[in-house]
Amino acid sequence: MKALIAGAGRLGTQIAQVLSAAQNEVILVEQDDERLHEVSALPRVRLVAGDACDPALLEHAGGLTCDLIISTTGRDEDNLVISLIAKRQFDVGRVVARVNDAENAWLFDQRWGVDVAVPAATPLISLIEEATGATDTVALLRLSKAGVEVIETAITERSRAAGHLLGEIALPNGTVVATVVRNGRPTVPQPAMRLLPGDELLLVSHEATEQEIHAAFQ
């Protein structure tokens, strides 16, 4: 599957990480240069600088050949414009848009090209499931077609990984850390990140069991 994600914020980054880990072709569009730099370490994700509301930019990024376009910017008006371009101009099969202000939810429907509207207050895992379409990609935290599992583990005071650098943790084969959620904010994992009690990790694996992953951190 080829997916284009507009907006490299919390939701956009998480979806990009999960989809790329499942061997999908992922393009992430962001107009903030500082934010682009922050996510530059994302593996197997092509970054494009620019305004996704610009049809020419979207076309240049690959929108015409995408199976899925997801608009996750922090502005509802931008998400609606991007959705309309994706559906009406590019005829994308599945268009997903984030709803930042609940009062605007009524706008996010087929009239604006939106197939799936994702409320911003939805829990992280549910956001990823709903945005990508559980029946054809994540499938209730299990990417069964690709043989990939998405597993969560939390760091506590008693966890063996507490206080250690992420790069020091010996992960099972075929496993990557997709994100570390700290104080409610997801961050791009770096080897030099020191794991703290309260951290929540989202991992993707096509080989390890949930027990093996938990054992690496607990």
Domain 2-132 class in CATH: alpha beta
Question: Residue 195's pLDDT is what?
Answer: 94
Report CA-CA distances (Å) from 174 to 32, 169, 171: 32, 14, 8
Through-space distance between the first and last CA atoms of the chain, rounded to whole angstroms = 35
User: DSSP secondary-structure letter at 145?
Assistant: G
Sheet strand arrangement including 185-187: 142-143, 148-154, 200-205, 175-182, 185-187
- pLDDT tens for 10-56 read 778 878 877 876 678 999 999 999 999 888 888 889 999 999 999 99
Give how far the C-alpha of residue 45 lies from the chain's centroid of Cα atoms, to the nearest Å: 11
- pLDDT tens for 145-203 read 345 566 778 899 999 999 999 989 998 887 878 778 887 666 778 888 999 998 888 78
Architecture of domain 147-217: 2-Layer Sandwich (3.30)
179-196 residues labelled b (16+ CB within 10 A) or e (exposed): bbbbeeebbbbeeebebe
Looking at the chain, which residues constitute the CATH 3.30.70.1450 domain(s)? 147-217
- pLDDT tens for 191-214 read 889 999 988 887 877 777 878 888
Amino acid at residue number 189 = P
Degrees, nearest 5: CA angle 64-52-82: 75
**3-class secondary structure, 155:** coil
Choice among 84-93, 132-141, 193-202 with the minimum mean pLDDT? 132-141
- pLDDT tens for 111-125 read 999 998 888 776 555
Looking at the chain, which residues constitute the CATH 3.40.50.720 domain(s)? 2-132
Are 177 and 143 in contact by the 8 Å Cβ rule? The answer is no
